Amino acid sequence: MPASWLVRLDDGLGYAEDLFLGVAHAIIAGLVIAAVFFRYVVSDPLVWSEEFIVIVFTWMLFIGLSSGFRARMHLRIDALLVVLPGRWRGFLGVLAVIATLVTLLCLAWFGTQLCMTMYRSPTPMMRISSAWAIAAVPAGAVLSCIHILRHAICDGLNRTLWPDDLIGAAEEEAV
C-alpha cells in the first residue's frame, strides 16, 4: 500500500525536522550570546559568527516552512472558509492544495537552478560556496511537498492545509 511507506517517510522526516529545528535554534542563540562574550569580555570577536549564524538561520526558516506544513500552521485568511459550507470548503481545498504544490515545486526547481549558478561563488567571510545556504530553499520546498502529499492522501484535500476545526487552530497557535 503506497500510503504506508509515505506515512513512515513523513513521520521520519517530521522527527528529523523537529530535531533539526531545536538544534539550529540552540546554535543560533548560543552563538549570538558567545559572540557578545568574545567581543566584549575576551576582546577577540568571532568574525565568522554572523555569517555562520545567518546560514543556520536560513536553514532553520526553510526547514520550519516544511515543518509548518506538517503541523498545518501556515497563516491563511479564514474569512471566507469559516462562513462556507463544508462541501465548498472541500472544493476550495483542492484549489489551494494544487496552487501550493505547484508553487513549492517551482520554488524547488528554480532554487536548485540558483544553487547551480551560485555554486562557485564563495561567501564573504568563511569563503565557502554560497550554495550551502541557498540549498535550504529547494530542500525546504521538497520536504514541504512530501508533508502536503501525506496529509492529502491520508486526511483528504479539504484537511491538507487547514485543520478540521479552523477555530481550534487559533488555540493550537497560542499553545
Partner 1 sequence: MLVLALVFALLVAVGTPVAIAMIASSGFVIWQEGIPLSLVAQRIFAGLQSFPLLAVPLFTLAGSLMNESGISERLFAFTRAIVGHIRGGLAQTAIIGNVFLSGISGSSIADTAATTRVLVPQLERSGYSRAFGAALSASAGTLGPIIPPSILMVLYAWQANVSLGALFIAGLIPGVVMAGAMATVIMILARIRNYPTSGAFRASVLWATFKRAIWALLMPVIIIVGFRLGAVTATEIAGIAALYSALIGIFVYRTLKWSSLPHILTTTARETAVILMIAGAASPFSWILGIEQAPQLVVQTLTAVSSEAWVILLILNVALLIVGMFVETIAVMIILVPILLPLLTTLQIDLVHFGIVLLVNLVIGQLTPPVGVLLFVSITIAKVTMGQILREVWPFFLGLIMALALITYLPGLSIWLPHVLGF
Positions that interact with partner 1 (CB under 8 A): 18-19, 21-26, 28-29, 32-33, 35-36, 40, 50, 53-54, 57-58, 60-65, 67-68, 71, 73-83, 89, 92-93, 95-96, 99-100, 102-104, 106-107, 110-111, 113-114, 117, 133-134, 136-137, 161-162, 167-168, 170-171, 173-175
Comparing CB distances to partner 1, the nearer of 21 and 128 is 21
CB of 7 to partner 1, least distance (A): 21
Instruction: Output the smallest distance, CB 109 to partner 1, in A.
Output: 8
Minimum Å gap between C-beta 4 and partner 1 is 26
Cα 35 from Cα 39, distance rounded (Å): 6
Check if the beta carbon of residue 136 is closer than 8 Å to that of residue 62. Answer: yes
Query: Whose Cβ is closer to partner 1: residue 39's or residue 153's?
Result: 39
Lookup result for grid cell 575576551: 42
Q: Between residues 3 and 33, which has the closer beta carbon with respect to partner 1?
A: 33
End-to-end CA distance of the chain: 35
Asked if residue 83 lies in contact with residue 143, where contact means CB atoms within 8 angstroms, the answer is: no
Closest CB to partner 1 among 1 and 164?
A: 164
Distance (Å) of CA 95 to CA 40, 79, 99, 136, 161: 54, 17, 6, 27, 11
Closest approach of Cβ 1 to partner 1, in Å? 29
* Closest to 96 (Cα-Cα) out of 160, 11, 140: 160
Q: Would you say 2 or 10 has its CB closer to partner 1?
A: 10
In angstroms, give the least distance from the CB of 87 to partner 1: 14
Distance CA 88, CA 145 (A): 24
Do 93 and 157 meet the contact criterion of CB atoms below 8 Å apart?
Answer: yes
